[in-house]
Amino acid sequence: MRTLKYAILGMIHQKPMTGYDLMQEFESTLNEFWSANHSQIYPELKKLTKEGSITYILQQSDKGPDSKLYSLTEAGEKDFLEWLNDDEDIIKTPKDPFRLRVFFSKSMNEEDRLDLFMDHRLKHRKRLKHLQKQLKKFTHVPIKEEEVFGDYLVLMSAIMREESTIAWIEKCIELLKE
């Protein structure tokens, strides 16, 4: 499916970027639903250049070594815009070792079993708090014409997923305490 390719094309479509810029975007903004290390980004940029989707100009940096500023070619932009409209299937349920443990948890003693859920709830509450902090950066709910509308929607998705996960864990705890 080469989704990393489109993640990169999409980012560069917003504005020209270096590999390092992409790395930082993957760490911050996109992190909740896509990520990649620099060891994956640089080879992919090389490949996309060879395939003619992107080109770069060398930049002398005042601080640090030279960098390559990438932008989309016409072919690259066309490819990206077509991908946006592709009719793709929804993803398979992602693999989750925690749910696997829950599935097998009848082999644990009662106390450990309850702790498993309590620990897990704490971790998800922390992640939720972190996401809610990011939400506060929005002074208002963006309207669909704004640049940050997409950012808002995916942040909402991450928050709602965490809330739902916590609700599930609490249901489990309730059933365990009966």
Partner DNA sequence: TTTGACATGTAAAGCGTTACATGATTGT
Partner DNA sequence: ACAATCATGTAACGCTTTACATGTCAAA
Range 10-49, binding DNA (CB under 7 A)? 18-20, 23-24, 35-40, 42-43, 45-46
Within 80-119, the residues that bind DNA by CB under 7 A are: 92, 95
Nearer to a copy of itself, 30 or 67 (CB): 30
Whole-number Å distance between alpha carbons of 124 and 59: 42
Residue 10 C-beta: closest distance to a copy of itself, Å: 4
Residue 7 C-beta: closest distance to DNA, Å: 9
Nearer to DNA, 39 or 85 (CB): 39
Positive or negative, the CA dihedral 8, 11, 25, 163 is negative
- Indicate which of DNA, a copy of itself, none lies near residue 166 (CB less than 5 to 8 Å, by partner kind): none
| Nearest Cα residue to 104 out of 113, 115, 95 | 113
Residue 48 C-beta: closest distance to DNA, Å: 11
* Helical (H) or strand (E) element with 11: helix 3-14
**Pair 88, 104: CB distance under 8 Å:** no
SS3 147: coil
Nearer to DNA, 100 or 148 (CB): 100
Whole-number Å distance between alpha carbons of 125 and 118: 11
C-alpha 17: how far from its chain's center?
Answer: 18
- Indicate which of a copy of itself, DNA, none lies near residue 51 (CB less than 5 to 8 Å, by partner kind): none
**Pair 9, 79: CB distance under 8 Å:** yes
9 scored as a contact of DNA (CB under 7 A): no
Residues that bind DNA (CB under 7 A): 1-4, 18-20, 23-24, 35-40, 42-43, 45-46, 61-68, 92, 95
